Structures are given as structure tokens and as C-alpha cells.
Amino acid sequence: MHDMERMGTLQSGNEVLAVVRIPAPTALHMPGSGRFILALDGVSDPGNLGTLLRIADWFGAAQVWCAGGVDPFNPKAVQASMGSLFRLQPCAIDDLPAALAQAQKAQVAVYKAEASGANVFSVGLKKPCILVMGSESHGLSEGVRSAPGTSIAIPGGGGAESLNVAAAAAALCMELIRP
């Protein structure tokens, strides 16, 4: 057996293997002027989590909050992040609804992605803000749904029931950074 195949954790991996220390936990902070935070509520698929980290990195998120869901250092999440995990370290958060309430008190807008939300193009997004994305199969948790904030949705015209959480996050982040 090839040594790389034996040491790797994925069925088909790359030709490179890195051994790194998991960074110390990052402290939660509010976004500064003109910035946004991507908050993840129970994202359970490691590939989606890694892709969400990469999206947050691409669009310049100040931080990523991870409430519940999969470990960001899961090998599939690490691989899917394509290095973004180490540029934009996620912050584990135990009580997302309380953090959203704290954000609103600090004059930080909170936007919650939900299919039943207002059309994102008509909301007039403001920063600093927090964009909350929910679980792939369950959406936002009850606590987050009842937390302060504005529910927003991506308008669609086709027959699909929903978008993949990473695809939805990319569309919403693009709208957030629109001048």
C-alpha cells in the first residue's frame, strides 16, 4: 500500500499531506464598519462546511460563527475549505440566538436566510451585519428563527424546492458586498 494512501483519511486524496496544529479557539467578536459575519446554524455536511468557509473567505467575511453541526476540522471540511480554514478560523458558538440578540443591541443588522423571507433584492441590506445560514435539511433552528433579525430569501423561478446551503450563501454574500 502506498504510504500516502495509508496516512490519508479520504478514499481518494491529493498527493500532499500536511500535519498542522489545530489553532486555539477564536473569540467571538462583532463585525466592524462595512463588514459582515457568516453565522452557521447546525450545518452538518463537512463538504458544505468547508465550502462555506471558502465562500466566507472569498467574500471577505470578518469571521465565521459555527453553532452546532460538524467539526470544522473534519478532514472533508478541511479539504473542501481549500486553505480558507486557516485564513478565516471559525468561532464555535454555544448560544447563537443570544449572540444574535447581542449583535442587534450593538447596532449590527441580522439577516436570516429562510425560504419564507423577504426578497433579498428589496430589503436594502446594511452593514455591519450577520448573515445566518441554516442546516441543509432542517433550515434554521427554532431558537434562531425566533431571535431578532430580518428573514431574507433568494427569489427563484424554477421548480426546485431549495438551494444547497453553500450555493445560497454565495448568492447572499455576493449581494452583501454589492457596492
In this structure, what C-alpha cell is assigned to residue 87? 485564513
Residue 172's CATH number = 3.40.1280.10
Q: Output the pLDDT for position 23.
A: 81
H helices of the chain, where? 3-7, 46-59, 75-81, 84-87, 96-105, 120-123, 142-145, 165-176
Whole-prediction pTM value? 0.90
3-class DSSP assignment, residue 10? coil
Give CA–CA dist 103/114, Å, rounded.
19
Domain that holds residue 143: 3-176
Type of residue numbered 132? V
Q: Output the pLDDT for position 25.
A: 83
DSSP annotation string for 101-170: HHHHHTT-EEEEEEEEEEEHHHH---SSEEEEEEBTTTBS-HHHHTSSSEEEE----SS-S---HHHHHH
Give CA–CA dist 45/58, Å, rounded.
20
Residue written as cell 457568516?
38
The number of domains in the chain is 1
Show pLDDT as tens, one digit a residue, over the chain (179 residues): 566 665 555 566 566 777 778 888 888 999 999 999 999 999 999 999 999 999 999 999 999 999 999 999 999 999 999 999 989 889 999 999 999 999 999 999 999 999 999 999 999 999 999 999 999 888 999 999 999 999 999 999 888 888 999 999 999 999 999 98
